[in-house]
Amino acid sequence: MTFAIHGLAVARGIAIGRAVLVASTRLDVAHYFIEPSQVGAEIRRMRDGRNAVVEEIQRLQASISQMNPKDTPHELAALLDVHLMLLQDVELSNGVTHWIKDRLYNAEWALTTQLEVVARQFDEMEDEYLRERKADLEQITEKVLRAMRGVASPLVQPLGRQGRKPSQQDLLLDDTVDVPLILIAHDLSPADMLQFKQSVFAGFITDVGGKTSHTAIVARSLDIPAVVGARLSSHLIRQDDWVVIDGDAGVVVVDPSPIILAEYGFKQRQGELQRGRLSRLLHTPAVTMDGQKIELLANIEMPEDAAAALAAGAVGVGLFRSEFMFMGRHGKLPNEEEQFQAYKRAVEGMQGLPVTIRTVDVGADKPLDDTLRDDAHLNPALGLRAIRWSLADPAMFLTQLRAILRAAAFGQIHLLIPMLVHASEIRQTIALIDHARVQLDNRGVAYGPVKLGAMIEIPAAALTLKVFLKYFDFLSIGTNDLIQYTLAIDRADESVAHLYDPMHPAVLRLVANTIAQGKAQNKPVSVCGEMAGDTTMTRLLLGMGLRSFSMHPAQILAVKQEVLRADTSKLADWARQIIDDEEPSNRIARKN
Ligand code: PEP
Ligand code: MG
């Protein structure tokens, strides 16, 4: 039966494929396709893993049977019986074999997929005792995965078995051919998203998350259709269901009828045509109709993203979110040499164009590790985040600063500091940068000059610009956090997403004022939050006087198109009226 689920549109485009439900905790499991000739070996690998666990349990049972019954809790023996029974369950092993044989999933993926299928059946059981057996099922799956670990050498393939996108025709005629896979999860962390970059999935849907959560931001950078905040989707969608993601409308269609499928196929082709048209602007300089040169920069998460930035025509990197290099490392942070090499790769990747490296911004919805989520603190977004975290651990911060300064010997680097708000924090930060230089001098290690910038992303900073303009060479407005903190809306919470309003007059005033004050002092101001890549905001930002925008590479050409059509001499008055309006969003909708 066809039905639709509404969520938040985070990354544009249409994806059509089969659902793969993955528990958030299972994302680290390798997902790749095997060749048909490997099916037998893969099934054997899974069976060997399972048999190893069966033998381990049987050994335990044997040793228990030799113990004094008084010393062995009855529950332990019963638990081992249950685990053995589950491991030998025919439905489980037939299911796993099906995913390997018919879908060519690797053994780990097949096992966790079947786990989701069976776990759901457990969830629906009336009997509480049986329902609770789900935890046992998860435990034995974990054991089998562990037993298999080290045996495989996963090769991640881009899309489909031949890395080919199926045509709509394929999809309508034959659904056994390679079809894109859509990941469905309750939640995905920003670190999960990095794994996504090398995965086989063509799109994803999550139950939770806001439009500018970091998960959504990375999805946008991957340029794959995604919908977040589609509550209950991981319960309503079943393994292997056909789903359509409409990333523009924030809608998920489950089990679409052939007519709906054809309609979305048409939309998908329209999107591709539109991208083709935009690509013609690649080499056109971003200059407005009245001759204003506009700087279009890229936001990146990894040094390797520099290639996408150049390919999209970016004239530099306006925001390198360095924290992504710090995530998912089980608390072991990258050392100076590793960071230096990474920053150097980014600089060299940009071939002489400037790279703005933001010092680490972890905390809030960007935990270092999934296991280290900051649940202990009630308001992590207001807690030890970004520069606060860096200043709390000067040794770690100095390591990063030295690595950045050293990389600056190889190209133009701008050093950007997130979440500053107090003058004392500014002075402390600058003192540590000076200290990092002294440390490098003492070691006789070469380093280069950097321009120093501050992110304006807390209202208090936007209201005390004088001190920022005194100490910094440039400013970069982080609208994602500026909106969050001005309106008191958690950017990652889908339940208040409707109140997260970039067009709120208070937000617009803070942005406009920052741009104007920067201009008055001759200090460059850029916007690097999601607002910069939103084409409905381009003319308003130009009207406010903004001349530097930093966004995901995938958004650059669409924004450039807006720039080419704009006449800034006519936009300034209009922008002033919009800012003064009671409900600017209504007016901007009319103008656009
Ligand atoms: C912002 O807050 O707008 C920003 C660019 O930084 P981040 O999204 O990483 O918090
Ligand atoms: Mg921010």
Residue 156's pLDDT band, with cuts at 50, 70 and 90, is very low
- Name which residue sits closest to atom 6 of ligand 1, judged by CA: 478
Instruction: Identify whether 504 is a catalytic site residue.
Output: no
Ligand 2 centroid–CA 487 distance in Å is 14
Residue 24's pLDDT band, with cuts at 50, 70 and 90, is low
Instruction: Identify whether 414 is a catalytic site residue.
Output: no
Mean pLDDT of 345-361: 97
Q: Is the pLDDT of residue 473 over 70?
A: yes
518-522 contact pairs (CB < 8 A, 24+): 518/465, 518/469, 518/474, 518/475, 519/545, 521/469
Range with the poorest average pLDDT among 44-53, 163-172, 523-532: 163-172
CA 213/CA 382 separation, integer angstroms: 15
Nearest C-alpha neighbor of 117 from the set 132, 99, 100, 101: 99
Q: Are 301 and 321 in contact, with CB atoms under 8 Å apart?
A: yes
Range with the poorest average pLDDT among 47-56, 135-144, 160-169, 320-329: 160-169
Write the DSSP symbol of residue 287: B
Q: Is the pLDDT of residue 44 over 50?
A: yes
- Residue of higher predicted confidence among 239 and 155: 239
CA quadruple 53, 57, 63, 65: dihedral, nearest 10: -160
Residue 589: its pLDDT value, please? 55
pLDDT tens-digit readout, 240-250: 899 999 999 99
Ligand 1, atom nearest to 484 Cα: 2
Ligand 2 centroid–CA 216 distance in Å is 14
Nearest C-alpha neighbor of 536 from the set 589, 586, 493: 589
Pocket of ligand 1 (CB under 6 A): 217, 319, 321, 361, 457, 478-481, 528-529
Q: Which of 31, 214, 414, 552 is catalytic?
A: 214
For residue 532, give the ligand nearest its CA: 1
Residue 162: its pLDDT value, please? 35
The DSSP secondary structure of 450-464, one letter per residue, reads: EEEEEEE-SHHHHT-
Residue 3: its pLDDT value, please? 95
Residue with tokens 């010393």: 71
Residue 58's pLDDT band, with cuts at 50, 70 and 90, is confident
Ligand 1, atom nearest to 528 Cα: 5
CA 54/CA 205 separation, integer angstroms: 36
Ligand 1, atom nearest to 476 Cα: 5
Mutational test site, ligand 1, from 193, 359, 480, max ligand atoms within 8 Å of CB: 480
pLDDT > 70 in the chain, percent: 89
Q: Is the pLDDT of residue 436 over 80?
A: yes
Structural domains of the chain sorted by starting position, each given as residue range(s) with its CATH number in brackets: 3-24+156-259 (3.50.30.10), 36-149 (1.10.274.10), 286-591 (3.20.20.60)
CA 437 to chain centre: 33
For residue 476, give the ligand nearest its CA: 1
Residue 574: its pLDDT value, please? 95
Residue 113: its pLDDT value, please? 87
- Which pair of tokens denotes residue 292? 């204003």
Residue 531: its pLDDT value, please? 97
Give the type of residue at 444.
Answer: G
Q: Is the pLDDT of residue 590 over 50?
A: no
Q: Is the pLDDT of residue 171 over 50?
A: no
Q: Is the pLDDT of residue 91 over 90?
A: no
CA 379/CA 192 separation, integer angstroms: 22
Q: pTM to 2 decimals?
A: 0.79
Q: Are 389 and 420 in contact, with CB atoms under 8 Å apart?
A: no
Residue 189: its pLDDT value, please? 75
Ligand 1, atom nearest to 323 Cα: 9
Mean pLDDT of 41-58: 90
What is the H or E stretch that residue 201 is in?
Answer: strand 201-206
- Name which residue sits closest to atom 1 of ligand 1, judged by CA: 478
Ligand 2 centroid–CA 478 distance in Å is 5
Ligand 1, atom nearest to 364 Cα: 10
Beta-bridge partners for 14: 246
Q: Are 189 and 211 in contact, with CB atoms under 8 Å apart?
A: no
- Which pair of tokens denotes residue 579? 């800012």
Residue 26's pLDDT band, with cuts at 50, 70 and 90, is low
Residue 12: its pLDDT value, please? 86
Residue 455: its pLDDT value, please? 98
> Residue 198 in 3-state DSSP?
coil
pLDDT tens-digit readout, 184-234: 988 887 767 766 766 778 899 999 888 888 778 878 888 889 999 998 898
Ligand 1 centroid–CA 222 distance in Å is 17
- Name which residue sits closest to atom 4 of ligand 1, judged by CA: 478
Residue 429's pLDDT band, with cuts at 50, 70 and 90, is very high
Ligand 1 centroid–CA 479 distance in Å is 7
Q: Are 514 and 527 in contact, with CB atoms under 8 Å apart?
A: no
Residue 163's pLDDT band, with cuts at 50, 70 and 90, is very low
Range ranked top by mean pLDDT from 34-38, 175-179, 362-366: 34-38
Q: Is the pLDDT of residue 165 over 60?
A: no
Q: Is the pLDDT of residue 155 over 50?
A: no
Mutational test site, ligand 1, from 221, 382, 455, 541, max ligand atoms within 8 Å of CB: 455
Q: Would you say how long the chain is, in residues?
A: 592
Residues 6 or more apart in contact with residue 328 via CB below 8 angstroms: 191, 194, 195, 368, 369, 370
